[in-house]
Structure 1
């Protein structure tokens, strides 16, 4: 089981599809970017005006939102990376855990141990 692949992120509040995320692996490190914005009212030209790093004022579409996650030895868990929420420009410590035979992905973002977990669904 691996997070590598295509995923639908789902809005916590509305349960609507939010975006298509593609996660890739190179040299044991995962990265992920927004391939497509899926909300009905999504602005495909939206910029990350809230970002404060190299992604500031860059298009959200195509943006790398997952950086640096590595597999925990002996576990189907990837940690030590960061995930960006382009809606508020904040980066969070990341944990990725494939569940349900890899059909879903628990995506945990946290700061000082406080955070939230989203469940993404693998695109078949």
Structure 2
């Protein structure tokens, strides 16, 4: 029993840390319809920035490829597409910004700000173009 205590403590601290970072699997909800659309996996890059990919589609898209995208994502499949790039942790413990987020439905890329909520169970995603922004709240997939 004493030998397993350090392992259990390590596991508990890892689980607590995982909840205080956007890293992990998230279910996004459309800000217009309230419908769950996809699951996005957010992971750290070797430089420490966060990127996110569409791992699973929860609704059917009329267009499986991103025909409205530009650059390296033009006409690529939405499933598996990297939609978050380069988010970095701010001095605040629960804020990541400076990256970009892509809406593959309209091909627009927004300046990104992510804020953890409810002890890491929810993630507020805000995309900006100038003074205008869109906000979604994603739910962590356990």
Q: Same fold (TM over 0.5)?
A: yes
Q: CA deviation at 1:13?
A: 2.0
Correspondence for 2:56: 36
Specify every segment of 5 or more residues in structure 2 that has no aligned partner in the other structure, as ranges.
1-19
Q: Could you tell me how far apart the structure 1 residues matched to 2:82 and 2:62 are?
A: 15
Which protein has the larger Cα radius of gyration, Structure 1 or Structure 2? 2
* Offset from partner CA, 1:12-49 (integer Å, 9 cap, x none): 1221110000000122100000001101xx04970000
Paired with 1:74 and 1:65, the residues of 2 have a C-alpha distance of 23
**Does structure 1 residue 5 correspond to structure 2 residue 34?**
no
C-alpha displacement of 1:106: 0.2
Residue in structure 1 matched with residue 119 of structure 2 by the alignment? 101
Match for residue 61 of structure 1 among 79, 91, 110 = 79
Decide whether the 8 Å contact of 1:66 with 1:84 is kept in 2.
yes
Counterpart in the other structure of 2:89: 71
More strand, by proportion: 1
More helix per residue: 1 or 2? 2
Q: Structure 1 unaligned segments of length 5 or more: list them.
A: none
CA–CA distance in structure 2, aligned partners of residues 69 and 80 of structure 1: 5
Please provide the CA RMSD for this pair: 1.3
Q: How much has 1:108 moved relative to structure 2?
A: 0.3
Deviations 1:69-123 (A, max 9, x none): 0000243200000000000001000001010000000000010021111000000
Matches within 5 A, 1:74-85: 74-85=92-103
Contact 2:31 2:135 in 1 (8 A): no
Provide TM-score, normalisation by structure 2. Answer: 0.82
TM-score after normalising by structure 1: 0.94
Aligned 8 A contact 2:36 2:58 in 1? yes
- Secondary structure class of the residue paired with 1:101: helix
